[in-house]
Chain A
Amino acid sequence: MNTELELKHLENNFKPLSEGVDFSSLRFIREKTEALSVRQDIVQPLGNTVDSGVMLTVMNGGGIGYASTSDLSLLGLQAAFEIAKDWAKISAGRAITNFSAIAMPHPSAEYQSPVKTHWSSTTLTDKLDYLREASEALGGPESIVDWSASLRYVDTESLYLTSGGGRVHQHLTHLMPGLTAVANRDTNTQRRTFVDSCQQGGLELLDAMGYKDRAQNLSAEAIALLDAPNCPDGTMDLVLEPDQMLLQIHESIGHPLELDRILGDERNYAGTSFVTPEMFGNYQYGSELLNVSFDPTHEQELATYKYDDDGSKAEKVMIIENGILKRPLGGIISQNRGKQTGASSTRACSWNRPPIDRMANLNLEPGKLSREELIGNVQNGILMNTNLSWSIDDSRNKFQFSCEMGRIIKDGELGGLVKNPSYRGISATFWRNLQGVGDAQSRQFLGTPYCGKGEPNQVIRVGHASPICHFANIDVFGGES
C-alpha cells in the first residue's frame, strides 16, 4: 500500500472510532533510518530500520489513556482504542488533572522539511565511497588508534488526527553526520569528534557544514592534544565555542525550564528544577546579554516542525529576554495544569511513547561582538571546544562539564592547547557571569539526537544554535594524568 493510501485508510478507520469520547487522537509515525559507517577504512554493518505504528489517545470523563500498536488494520485500531478508553476510565477521578477540561486543538496543516539534495539522489556505493574518503583522511598516523566516519539519515513521516477533525501531516528529514579520531600514547588517550552538526535537510548540508574539511584536521588536533599540558586549575574567564554552548544551554537552561519537571512529573527519573512557577516574568536568570528563544520554526534546525504532538502550532517565543526569565517550556497540557503560558513543545520520540514537554530548538540569540573582539576582551582564561562529559544535579543546578580541547587565552590572545579542560558551576548564578556574546557570524546551528527523559524513557532530537560566549570568574580545572 502506498503512503497516500495508507494515510487515507488510517483517516477512514479513525473517524468512526473517535466518536463518543470527550477527545481522542491518532498519531501515526513511520520512521526510516539508514546508518552508514566506515571505521578504520572498513565499511561497518549497515543499519536499516523501518519503525512504524500508531498511538491512540483518549480523554474521557476527566481521565486519560493511550494505546500503541503496530497493527494498523481496522481491528488493530479498534482494539487499541478500547484499551486507551479503558485506561481513561481507570484514571478518571484519580488523574493528576481533569484532562477533559483541556481544550485540545484541532489543527489542519501539511509540512515538509526543505531538501535540496535528497538522500536517495546518490547511490549506496557513492555514499560509502564518500565516507571511505573521510575515513582515509582521519587515519594514517601511528598514534591514531581508532577513527570512523558516519552518516545517519532519518526520514520521519507523521499523521496526527483528532476527534474534532484535526489533521496534520508532516514529513521531516534529518541528517546526522559523525567523525571521530582517537589518539593514544601509552595511557594518554585523547579524542576529537565532530558529531553535533545534526540538522534537517538533505545531503547538501554536508558541504555547508564542512564535513570533509573537518575530516582533514580532526586527527591532527587529537594528536596535538597528546603533547598538550593539562588545563590549569583556578578561577578564570571561560570562552565556550558553539559546540559546548549546545550542551550548556541544553542542561542548564533547557531542562530546568521544562514545565513538566517544574510540575513534578520527572521527579523519579530525570529530576525536578530549581526554577519555581513564581520566577516567570521576573527572575534574573542571566546577565542582560542573555536572550534565549524557543524556535521550532527554523527550517534547517534539527527539531523543527509545524505542529507539536498535541496539535499546538509551532511558534518562536522568547524564553529569556535581557536576562529575565519569561516563560517555561510546556505544552498545552502542562500549561493548563501549571496555569502558565508556555510553548508548542509537547513531543513524543515515536509512536510507542506518549508526548511530554521537550525543548525542540532552544537557541541563544547572537550579540554584537565578533569572535576576535570577544576573545580580545579576555585577560586570563580558557577557550573550550566540544563537549566530552556532562553531569548536573536533579534540580539542574550544580553542574560539571568537560570538553575535548582547550586553549589558553592570555591578554586577549589565543595561546597553546590544553587537554582535559573542565569547569563547574551553578546554573542559578552561572548565566549571570555572561560577559560577552558573539555575533551572528560566530553562531552555529547544531543539534543532538540524544536527549533522554520521561517514564517510559524517551530519547529525542533537539536543536541548539549559539554564538561563541564569554563567562567571567568560572571554576576551571584539568585532569590528573
Chain B
Amino acid sequence: MISFRADARAKNLAGIDRRKKLFQKLLNDQFRYKVYAMYRDLNRVSPQFSGDYVSNWELVTSSTSPRGYQEWKNKGSVLVSQQPKHAGDSDAVDFSLRRMYRVKLDYRDKVYFYNPTPVEFTATTATGPDGKTTALRPENILSPPQLLFSYLKANYGK
C-alpha cells in the first residue's frame, strides 16, 4: 500500500513537471511571437536612405550584449546600392531580421531594441526621382524613433 502511494505520487510529480515544461514552452512561444512582431514592425516602418539605420537595429536581451554600430555595406546587389531607399525596402530589413532570428529568447529575459547608428534626422528637403528638391512635410521632420516607440507602446504595451 505504501509503495503504491509512493508510485502514484511520483507519477503525479512527473505529470506536474511535464505540464510545467509545456506551460513554459507556451510562454516562450508567445513571448517570442510578440517580440518578433514588434521588431519586425520597427524595421519595416523605420525610415531608410542608405539602409544603414535599419540594418543596425538590434535585438538585445539581458543575456547578450550589443554588437555596436557597423556600417551597412553593399553586397553587390543592385537593390542594395540604390539610394535613396524607402521605409520597408527589403535589403536592410532582411539583413536585420536575419540577425533577429539568431537571438535566443527566453520569456524571463529583458529585451531591448537597440540602434547605435550615428544618424541625425535633420533633413528639411528631399530630392525626388525627377531631380526636383522640395520641402519635406512637417510630419516627415518628426523623430522616427519617437513615432515608432509610440506605435509599439500603443499596440503591444498592454
Task: Tell whether A pairs with B.
Answer: no
